[in-house]
Amino acid sequence: MGALEQLMGSRTVGGTVLVHFQLMLINSLTLFLVLMWGFSPLGGQSVLRLLEIRLAVASEVSSVVHFDTDAHSRFASWSFVSSSSSTSIMNELSIINAMYNTLLLSPGTVKNHTMDVWGNVKIPVLSSFGDHDSKAKGQEVPKEHAGREYSSLVGIPVAGVAAGNTSFSLESSYIHLDCDDIKADVKNSINHYYPKPVSFNHTSLTISQSYESVANGTWQGFNLLNGTGTTWNLALDTRSGSIQANPTTLLFQYKNQFDIHDAPDYYTSRCRATQRYIVSRVHCHRDPSSSSARRGCEVVAQRVSRKSHAPEDVSQLSFPRVFRFVSTKLPLATSHEGKSRHKDISLNYLVNPYSVTTSPENFNEHLAQTPPRLLGLRLAQLVNSYLLLSQAFASMSGGSSDPGATFEPNMPVPVEAQNLVVVYRVPGLWMLLFMLSCVVLFFGALAGAVITHLTLVPDLMGYVSSSVRESRFMEMPSAAGRMDGMELTRVLKDTRIRYGYLEKSAETESLTVVGYQENVVRIGS
């Protein structure tokens, strides 16, 4: 009777646990029933875990194109040979000057950003955070602005960046200036001392197919301090060697004059100019979910280029046609009126890059006290920006944001683009448990259906003990009337009962009852 109650009560997972707790019975049938029903929640959990979803990195080979900074400057090809060519040159120059002013007037966050206002990649100055003379494989660029400076206010146009994460190496060069302290040549009316500017000679900078040779030690440049509105100018020394290039010095000269009738003061600094060739590791990211998403790029590491290049003493400024326009047009690029009490925004940039629209009080003192390292860095940023604009002004404003942009000249770079893709996986273990649970429960249900079909039982409700409670053919405990079904089952759990005929003969009508197994004949026998 106990086994029958176990089977009758184990119709669900919860019922199986409850009926054995109520019977206080643990036997082999208990373990079998618990094991069988254990496949039900196990199968349900295996269904939930049949499919695993994770993100994986998918790589594809593509190509990125960036502008070649060793390209010829437009300055080298300009020639005022006719009115039409002059008009074309002036139109191009107005574009360069407008973009130069845009860079100077951009917010501090843009000046410190890894990309310029048009999305071009800015190249850091290796010596601002690392060792330029180091032969190290690569030096990481600091994330914080305080730990790095950029070689230019304008970046290098890059096109073809695929969606996702892309890393590539970018070969570039920039002019580096090592300046000395600014020397002030101030008038002294008491001693009748009136300073004179450094004499410039532009003989070698005239537009001609053949340039006249000039004496060594001559400062080559255009004197713009009188009649042009500007208050500063640039010049290069001429020290020609027989074969090997000699060090090049760039002269910066600033004139301060309060009144046209007052004698001016002059502030000068000499800077060693070199062309440095750098390899930058660039990392870009573009959201793959949107085709119009703007990409973000930054230089994460740098090292000195190992390719063959011209000597560092030969820079972009070493070409007379190029420096002619740098010397004549860069100081005039902001169209500043020299008589204004506010200084040229280029000069303001040398003192404070984040406040170019206003000049500080005692500007001359601030300029004279600017550390040589910062003076060289900021002056180089202005020169590099103007030169790079002269090389690629047509590609600067939209080339990096246009997927189909092309640059001439350009440098294609093979890259490996990485994207996050959704990967679906079916775990073998959970699939095995799912199939096993299905098989076990299927055959369990099938066996139950077969047994139910073959078994003749009364239509009973409630506990098994209900079938014997009122039986006149079994001895019941005296307290059976006060027991519930489960309590009576616990008392009679070892009693073997049978539903069948109490007596069966040809002359006597059989009586169907529930009684002791040995006293009841099986139905159908």
pLDDT digits over 303-329, tens only?
999 889 889 999 999 888 889 889 989
Tokens 């490996």 — which residue? 416
In the numeric block, which tokens belong to residue 392?
A: 């690629």
Give the integer Cα–Cα distance in Å for 344 and 350.
Answer: 10
> What tens digit of pLDDT does each residue of 477-502 get?
878 777 877 788 888 888 888 888 77
Question: What are the residue boundaries of the structural domains of the chain, listed by start?
Answer: 1-51+426-455, 58-422, 462-525
Q: Does residue 374 carry a pLDDT above 90?
A: yes
Tell me the angle at which helices 320-329 and 83-105 cross, rounded to the nearest 10 degrees.
Answer: 60
Between 180 and 216, the higher pLDDT residue? 180
Average pLDDT over residues 73-86: 77
Q: Which amino acid is located at 323 in the chain? A: F
**Residues 133-162, mean pLDDT to the nearest whole number:** 86
Tracing tokens 């994986």 back to the chain, one arrives at: 56
Cis peptide before 412 (omega within 30 of 0): no
| pLDDT reading at 244 higher than 70 | no
Q: Which helix (H) or strand (E) holds 199?
A: none
Q: Looking at residue 483, what is its pLDDT?
A: 80
Q: Of 133, 131, 113, whose CA–CA distance to 123 is shortest? A: 113
pLDDT at residue number 85: 76
**Position 209 pLDDT exceeds 50:** no
Q: What is the pLDDT of residue 271?
A: 95
Tell me what the mean pLDDT of segment 131-137 comes to: 76
More confident residue, 29 or 123: 123
Whether 99 and 418 have beta carbons less than 8 Å apart is answered as no
Residue 335: pLDDT above 70?
A: yes
Both tokens assigned to 152: 């230019």
**CA gap 310, 44 in Å, rounded:** 72
Q: In the prediction, which pLDDT does 474 show?
A: 82
Task: Examine the pLDDT at 288 and tell me if it is beyond 80.
Answer: no
Contact 123, 299 (CB under 8 A): yes
pLDDT bucket at 509, cuts 50 / 70 / 90: low
Both tokens assigned to 136: 């190290």
Nearest-angstrom CA–CA distance, 278 and 125: 9
> Residues 517, 3: contact at Cβ < 8 Å?
no
**Average pLDDT over every residue of 123-131:** 91
Question: pLDDT band at 444, cuts 50/70/90?
Answer: confident
* Of 9 and 31, the one with more pLDDT: 31
Average pLDDT over residues 342-356: 90
Neighbours of 105 (CB within 10 A): 14
Mean pLDDT (the chain, rounded): 82
Angstrom distance (rounded) from CA 40 to CA 441 = 7
Secondary structure letter of residue 511 according to DSSP: -
At residue 354, the pLDDT reads 92
Residue 206 pLDDT: 64
More confident of the two residues 67 and 20: 67
- pLDDT confidence tier of residue 373, bands split at 50, 70 and 90: very high
Question: What is the mean pLDDT of the segment spanning 22-31?
Answer: 83
Percent of the chain with pLDDT over 70: 84
Which residue is associated with the tokens 């489960």?
Answer: 486
- When computed from its CA atoms, the radius of gyration of the chain, rounded to whole angstroms, is 47
Q: What are phi and psi of 87, to 5 degrees?
A: -65, -45
Residue 455: partners with Cβ closer than 8 Å, 6 or more residues away: none
For 420-449, what is the mean pLDDT?
87
- DSSP 3-state helix, strand, coil percentages of the chain (rounded to 5)? 35, 25, 45
Q: Residue 479 in contact with residue 521, Cβ under 8 Å?
A: no
Residues 6+ apart with CB under 8 A from 11: none
